[in-house]
């Protein structure tokens, strides 16, 4: 069994087990505006008839009412493309060097010990969180095989000792020469069972973990969405 001693000191401030029901919404993705209206209407000094003035005002009002609603988000930006492609939004953290997709409609909440958390406000077990801790390791494979690392993380980090856990699958994949481990597991609490996915990797002197999941009763409905989230996680050099 892999030991995480003398590697990142993984701690229990991570992940998903008890998200607060209230959170801080930070993103209003689209802002409606009117196109073609940044013009100045000057008052004419020449006399006009009452009828002409009424017609001029009516035409101006019609132009304002019928002007199209346009998103201020750049339609060529990565976030716009991600949102319109499959109903996801892109998070890109240029300071910490990672990016991922999350489903449109999930809201950002503040969780102590987490770098980013987004969740569904109706189904609180449906969420995604990202956590980082410093490490002197250069590659996730330095910690052991996917199976070894998964069993240690699930037992010591990803679920509290009171929950019964089961590892379903642990596998490795490479993106641009960087190794990632992806873990699928179940954590059973007294009043719910959560089906979760985690992906872990090392870069920029940090051990990164992204975890997402859903209530077991909704897994079949949500699994494709959650696999999209976990597969989208990418670490880049900063």
96 inside domain: yes
**Domain coverage including residue 170:** 78-235
Domain count, the chain: 2
47 inside domain: yes
DSSP codes, 31-42: -EEETT-----P
pLDDT of residue 52: 53
Q: Is the pLDDT of residue 53 over 90?
A: no
Q: If you average pLDDT over every residue of the chain, what do you get?
A: 75
Largest pairwise CA distance in the chain: 91
Q: Indicate whether 198 and 177 sit together in one domain.
A: yes
Q: What CA–CA distance (Å, rounded) separates 172 from 182? A: 6
27 inside domain: no
- Write the pLDDT tens digit of every residue in 115-131: 999 999 999 999 999 99
Q: Indicate whether 43 and 126 sit together in one domain.
A: no
pTM higher than 0.85: no
Mention every residue, 6+ apart, whose C-beta is less than 8 A from residue 204.
Answer: 96, 97, 235, 237, 238
169 inside domain: yes
- Write the pLDDT tens digit of every residue in 187-199: 999 999 999 999 9
Q: Indicate whether 150 and 67 sit together in one domain.
A: no
Instruction: Work out the pLDDT band at 19, boundaries 50, 70, 90.
Output: very low
1 inside domain: no
Buried b (16+ CB within 10 A) or exposed e, 62-82: eeeeeeeeeeeeeeeeebbeb
How many whole angstroms from its chain centre is CA 138?
A: 25
Q: Among 11-15, 74-78, 172-176, 225-229, which stretch is predicted with the lowest mean pLDDT?
A: 11-15
């Amino acid at each position: 069994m892999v030991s995480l001693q003398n590697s990142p000191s993984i701690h229990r401030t991570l992940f998903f087990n008890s998200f607060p029901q209230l959170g801080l919404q930070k993103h209003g993705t689209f802002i409606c505006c009117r196109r073609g209206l940044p013009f100045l209407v000057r008052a004419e000094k020449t006399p006009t008839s009452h009828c002409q003035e009424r017609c001029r005002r009516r035409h101006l009002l019609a132009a304002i009412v019928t002007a199209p609603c346009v998103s201020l988000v750049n339609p060529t930006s990565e976030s716009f493309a991600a949102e319109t492609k499959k109903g996801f939004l892109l998070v890109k953290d240029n300071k910490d060097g990672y990016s991922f997709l999350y489903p449109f409609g999930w809201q950002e909440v503040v969780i102590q010990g987490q770098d980013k958390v987004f969740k569904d406000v109706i189904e609180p077990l449906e969420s995604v969180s990202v956590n980082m801790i410093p490490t002197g390791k250069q590659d996730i494979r330095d910690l052991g095989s996917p199976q070894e690392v998964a069993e240690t993380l699930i037992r010591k980090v990803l679920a509290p000792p009171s929950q019964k856990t089961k590892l379903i699958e642990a596998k490795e994949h490479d993106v641009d020469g960087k190794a990632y481990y992806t873990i699928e597991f179940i954590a059973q609490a007294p009043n719910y069972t959560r089906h979760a996915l985690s992906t872990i990797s090392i870069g920029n002197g940090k051990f990164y973990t992204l975890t997402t999941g859903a209530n077991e009763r909704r897994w079949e409905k949500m699994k494709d969405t959650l696999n999209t989230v976990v597969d989208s996680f990418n670490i880049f050099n900063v």
